[in-house]
Chain A
Amino acid sequence: MATEKKARRDALNESHVWQVYARRKFEEPLHEIGNVMADDVELAKVYARSIYDEFAWVEMVIVPRETIVHVIET
């Protein structure tokens, strides 16, 4: 029974992190405002919109963290 519950939990654990970027004015650059965890891109979009809704953004984008390539890393 406990194993079954754990299996259900594991099946629903999100493993992908998405970095969230947004800007309030077109003349501003996009800046990082946080991240969300979701395995489904559409859910990641829903989560980003509902969590980071403190401003009337003119643009918001999400980027899968694993696609980020480090140029300098100390």
Chain B
Amino acid sequence: MSTTTRRIDHAALFAVLSSLADNKQAVGRRYAYWCNGAPALEAAVAAAAMTQDELGHARTLYPLLDNFVQAEADLSQVEPETRTLHYSLAYLDRDFAGWADFVATNFLFDTALTTFFEAAQQSSYEPLRQRARKIVQEERIHEMHGEGWVRRLARAGGAVRATMAASLERLWNETLCWFGPNDDPIMQQLYREGIIDATPDELRARYLKKIMPTLQGLDIEVPVAFNASNKQWELTGALPWERWDAVGRRLG
């Protein structure tokens, strides 16, 4: 249902908001299964709270889509109940294989989305700025949960550690690709217009700075090295851009 009379014509912002909303919705749905399947009662209650947070974030983002000219092509796509497009990661297409997938999604991918929202806290697009600040605040506890569980599973050793490492590895490339190639016209436009304050490469650098201390402290191997000259974590391998689906912002 249309609630606005004057819509904004901005395909790039519409695309990114669609991806953010779909990914938050998909993460929430995957988390939901673990509200009564986590390894302990405490973890299950935390999973329920995180599910509510993620679905809540999606719920605040979907209504923004209706403010865009691009929504007019098919208004059913701006309502989560009728939307058939799913611009979320391929990793989230299927149920999690186990608790390690929950932990990997929270630690890797949700943190990547938070890195984007942090870059939008001074956004020139006010509706995103408002939501970004609240989401960043709520995500602090998710980050503590993600780091805490990566530590727990890594220190458990043996098959537990190996299963978590495999989950992290499966999600690694797609998470890093989500920011887009550095010449991604969508993210570059958002950067030029002050909607976010970083380019895709800068977002990736900020993201690595957030996750690498935990991974390095636990000796979890990922294709990243610390460059002492510029004091930044840098990818040592190429990302699989040949599989990048620029419309869905996911790997094919």
Contact = CB atoms under 8 A, between A and B. Distances in A.
A5 B61 CA distance: 41
Contact of B46 (A8, A39, A46): A46
A50 B39 contact: no
Chain B contact residues: helix, strand, loop or mixed: helix
A4 interface: yes
Contact of A43 (B49, B145, B158, B159): B145
A12 to B, nearest CB: 5
Interface residues of B, number: 23
B225 interface: no
A7 B159 CA distance: 9
A8 B50 CA distance: 25
Interface string A1-44: 00010011001111000000000000000000000111110110
Given A11-B158, A43-B152, 14 more contacts: A4-B159, A11-B157, A12-B40, A14-B40, A36-B42, A38-B42, A39-B152, A40-B152, A46-B141, A46-B145, A47-B43, A50-B45, A51-B45, A51-B46
Interface of A: 4, 7-8, 11-14, 36-40, 42-43, 45-47, 49-51, 53
